[in-house]
Chains A and B, each alone.
Chain A
Amino acid sequence: MITYALIFAFACYGLALLLNLYRVMTGPELSDRILALDTMVINAIALLILYGILRSTAVYFEASMLFAMVGFISTVAYCRYLLRGGIIE
């Protein structure tokens, strides 16, 4: 039963990643593209944890933690570059 639920969740998050990619490509504003990239990172974290459940190993938690940190920092860096013209002042 868990396997079928896992397949369903994989399909949902894969579709969600494709929709985010569409928004990254056609976003009318820069803030839309940044938001879609941030959502892509969050969906990738969910996919990594789902893969960890499927393989039943705890190896992927570190990877998803790193993904969360790098995604946060990159989003803040993009926003800061657009707001202030520089990342570190």
Chain B
Amino acid sequence: MALWAEITISLLLVIAGFFGFVGSFGLIRLKDAMSRLHAPTKATTLGVGSVLIASMLYFVTAQGQISAHELMISLFLFLTAPIVAHFIAKVHVHLHERPKSLPEPSVGTDWASFAAKTPARGVRRATPDTPAD
């Protein structure tokens, strides 16, 4: 294997390990749930992305075969990460926040997440008079 490829792959692996660790360290360290949602996205995009690029470079330079698996995995992760973040934020808002405890939306509107008239079965509705927990 050429020296430049070895240096690039090693650098990408070190970057990936660093960002993977930083993501989970932020998950431990940050104060509240909404800011904890921010940290692991670094592990997803930079960490796993660097691992996948390093793996692609390794298989191209060491064995001479181009594989599209890594691109598929990274595409899938990049597509699903915002959906997962949205769902987790919605769970936090519905279980632990009330419309009073959230910042004011723009004039004349309400939080769309609390706007639904009929609750689905089993959903814990946030009513304005119950205090935030």
Contact = CB atoms under 8 A, between A and B. Distances in A.
Q: How large is the interface on B (under 10, 10 to 19, 20 to 34, 35 or more residues)?
A: 35 or more
B18 interface: yes
Given A8-B13, A69-B76, A86 B20 contact: no
A66 to B, nearest CB: 10
Contact of A34 (B28, B77, B91, B96): B91
A65 B72 contact: yes
A53 B55 contact: yes
Contacts of A1: 6-7, 10
B120 interface: yes
B98 interface: no
A9 B9 contact: no
A5 to B, nearest CB: 4
A78 to B, nearest CB: 8
B99 interface: no
B33 A31 contact: yes
A50 to B, nearest CB: 6
Contacts of A15: 21, 24
Interface in B49-96: 51-52, 54-55, 58-59, 62-63, 65, 67, 69-70, 72-73, 76-77, 80, 83-84, 87-92, 94-96
Contact of A49 (B43, B55, B91, B96): B55
Interface of B: 6-7, 9-11, 13-14, 16-18, 20-21, 23-25, 27-28, 33, 36-37, 40, 43-44, 47-48, 51-52, 54-55, 58-59, 62-63, 65, 67, 69-70, 72-73, 76-77, 80, 83-84, 87-92, 94-96, 120-123
